[in-house]
Structures are given as C-alpha cells and as structure tokens.
Structure 1
C-alpha cells in the first residue's frame, strides 16, 4: 500500500465544468508527481453524481480513484433519488463517502443508516470512506471514546454478516469542519493513533487507513504524519496548486520513510 491516501470531496461547491477542470488539472499534476508515480500517495476525488463518468475518465491518467458522495443500502427498488452500490460499481466508482457530518445534520443520517451503507458498499467490493468525529471540542480521551463507539456502530451491520473488505476511516471532528484552522495537531494525533491501533488486527477490515479531514490543507500533513495515513481535503484543495503542495509534503515525508516502520 502507498504510505498515504490523499484526496478531496468536491461536495456541491463546483458545477459540472468546474469539476472537470479541477480534475483535469489535478490529474496532470499527479501524472508526473513522484509521490504518486512512486506509490507514496494514493490520490482520489469524490465528485457529484452527475459528474462521476466524466471525472472518472479525466482522473485515470493521474491514477486518481473516483468516489461517490453517498449511496443507498439496498441494491434495487423504489428509492427515488437514490443510487445503489451495485450501480456505482458498474460505472467504475471505487470509493463511497459515508456518514459525513453534513449528511447527518442536514438529512438525518445516523450510525445505523451509515452501518447499512458500509455493508452494502463492502458487499459490492467498493471502499467506504467512513466519516466519524466527535461533535463537541474537548479532551483527547473523550474524543477517542466517542470515535471508537461511532466506528463500531458504523461497522456493526458488516460485522453481523461477516462482510469484510478495505475501509478508509476519515476522522473529521465536527467542531473543526468549516473553520479556518484544523484541530490541534496533538488532538488529531491522539485520536488517529487510537483509531489505527483499534483497526490494526481487525479481521473484518483489510488494509485499514485512518485519514484526517476537518479544515485540512497544506502544511498539516508534515505535522501529523507519524499518526495518520493521509488526508481528506475540502475547500483548502479547491486550488489544484494546493493539492500539489500537499503531494510535495507527502513525497518529502514518504521518500525518507523506512516503510518497515508502518
């Protein structure tokens, strides 16, 4: 596995043409960047549903995996406006974002519905990007407890069925989303290290990754790298040059790593 998994959810910030232009520029950067070409970074992009097909084609030369921003837990049926994991797999999606704080606050997503979506995603060979994070700012200990509880709640349906696979956990403290700065470095590292340790020998979760989101941007990876497997970027990566800067950081860290230490 590459040392880092780094990518961005474009949410609903861009229209179709803007998403294509962003993807084109980032793919051009990734296609020649040593961090990607020498497998230090696994890059990804998560566009809106209508842009998935075009983004997939533009992302391919840069090696970017393409994700979807949501999924339904059933494979077919009378679910107006929803998209199944089966269809997402059919059109070349590799990742599925599940349980983001905005989905929870705006649309009633719960740990129970997230768990059903994780199971459906794994069942079809896709990789859930499972978003978890405590709501209120506080000390490391309670944050770790809250995140581990949420993680297990969101894996519960898959555990019941024995549906395993690769999982990316995106730690996004809710109180840090949309702020000018991310959570403090020490806080991030305490929570992500606990999540990594929890998943390290989990028979259900293959190749677990714990990445950080929540106002993540250039300059952060260098400070938290020992305890994370990458970053989940939002608006701070809207300029493709910022994405390149983060790849530069990853290359500087990863090219000097002793891979046996991870």
Structure 2
C-alpha cells in the first residue's frame, strides 16, 4: 500500500520504457510486478505486450462463494494474473495467517494455473540450523498442498531483515537456502522450485548470492524503476 493508482501506472510505464532499451534482459530473467488488487487489471493491460508477469499480493483459498471482501483466485487467473504472493510476514503478523492458510491458498493458485509465490522466513536472527527448522514447517505445508509437478517459488525473507538497513549476510542466506533445498519435500518434487531472497534486497546483492539463489524479491528498493532496472541488469549478467 505504498503507491497510489496514478503512481502505479507511472511506475510501470517508466519500467517498461527502461526495459525497451535492453529487451534481451527478459530473455534471460523472469520479471514480475505485484501491485495492489485495485490496480492489478490495469497493470496486466500495461504489460500485455511484454514478457513481464503480473502477480497479486494475496488471494482467498476458495474460488467462489459467500466470502464477502475476499479475492477469488479464479477471477485473478481470468483477468491475467500469473503469480500469487502468499504468506508474507505482514499477513502472518497482522492478520494471523498460518502455514495452513498459506498452503490452502497455494493449492488454490495452482489449481487455477498460477504460480504460488510463498514467503517463508524465521522470526529472529540466529543460527542457520534454527532458521531452517523454522522454515521447514512453512515449506512442508505448502509442498503437501500443491500437485507434485506444480511450479513453486519460495521467497526466503528473514523476518528480522525486512525493512532493515542492510540485508541478511550473504553467507548466512546461501547456507539457509542450501539446506532448504535439501528438505525431502523439495527434493522429491517433479515441478520446478525456485528460491528468491527478500528482505532489504536491492542493487549489488545478487552477485553475492548467485551461487545459491535463483533471484531477488524486491520491496522498497524496487520502488525506483531505475534501481529495479539496475538490479535486473546485475542478475542477467550474473
């Protein structure tokens, strides 16, 4: 809820213009934008002639019914949404969402042909083994709920690093993600499982993480189109 509708339109226009200078970037890197629900359809229209995917920040776990105020994943798919972000730390903290909620929503995204992007992460800074154990239940719940061949994106966001001045240490992040990849529920899957890093992520970071991460999940450091574009260039070159 940082952008107005006008700012969202301006932001997408500026980013598309920047990417038009280097269209080959979108051949090597998957790029997505996740606006608020109100501007989602206009963003889909703005990105119609590009390879950039549009995502939603949340969705309900039922496709239809008496659920006033909720957003149907079926309708999101119908209007062109390709990704659904689920289980963000703010949703868990403010609205009390659980691993079970995230799993049910991931299943809803998958059955409607969209990619579930599930946020995972430990609450307090500590040892790698402790972080992995806290993430384990979050990952296992989702993987048990979606078909084995579903593409899943995990956004590893240490809760203590969200909004911090600096991201979590690169070695720490790479080690946590390495161990998450070895979880049985991830190893035995037939579908693609990609893991991104979020939590004060921005330009200059991916070079340090490229040995263990598949990409970045930008928050406030992605609010400037020029910085977003710079980060995409870094990822493409890495």
TM range (shorter): over 0.9
Contact kept? 1:89, 1:124, Cα under 8 Å: yes
TM-score normalised by structure 1 residue count: 0.86
Of 180, 186, 193, the match for 2:165: 180
2-structure distance, mates of 1:116, 1:33: 39
Aligned to 2:150: 165
> Relative to structure 1, is the Cα distance of residues 252 and 164 closer, same or farther in structure 2, using a 3 angstrom cutoff?
closer
Q: Does 1:145 align with 2:130?
A: no
1:199-239 CA-to-partner distances (Å, cap 9, x unmatched) read 664335x2211000011011100111110000000001111
> Relative to structure 1, is the Cα distance of residues 35 and 186 closer, same or farther in structure 2, using a 3 angstrom cutoff?
farther
Return structure 1 stretches of 4+ with deviation > 4 angstroms: none
Of 189, 201, 221, the match for 1:236: 221
Aligned to 1:113: 101
2-structure distance, mates of 1:108, 1:30: 38
Contact kept? 2:99, 2:137, Cα under 8 Å: no
Give the CA deviation at 1:164: 4.1
Aligned to 1:19: 8
2-structure distance, mates of 1:78, 1:87: 15
Q: Does 1:83 align with 2:71?
A: yes
Q: Superposition pairs for residues 1-80 of structure 1, below 5 Å?
A: 12-33=1-22, 36-37=25-26, 39-80=27-68
Greater percentage in strand:
1
Equivalences, count: 237
Aligned to 1:92: 80
1-structure distance, mates of 2:114, 2:233: 28
Contact kept? 1:212, 1:232, Cα under 8 Å: yes
2-structure distance, mates of 1:77, 1:163: 27
Aligned to 1:128: 116
2-structure distance, mates of 1:123, 1:251: 31
Contact kept? 2:149, 2:192, Cα under 8 Å: no
Structure 2 residues without counterparts, runs of 5 or longer:
none
Any idea what SS the aligned residue of 1:170 has? strand
1:49-70 CA-to-partner distances (Å, cap 9, x unmatched) read 1101111121233421000000
Any idea what SS the aligned residue of 2:216 has? strand
Aligned to 2:91: 103
Greater RCO structure (CA 8 Å; 6+ sep): 1
Any idea what SS the aligned residue of 1:32 has? coil
Of 208, 225, 229, the match for 1:223: 208
Give the CA deviation at 1:150: 1.5
Any idea what SS the aligned residue of 2:39 has? helix
Any idea what SS the aligned residue of 1:115 has? helix
Any idea what SS the aligned residue of 1:49 has? coil
Give the CA deviation at 1:35: 5.2
2-structure distance, mates of 1:234, 1:83: 22
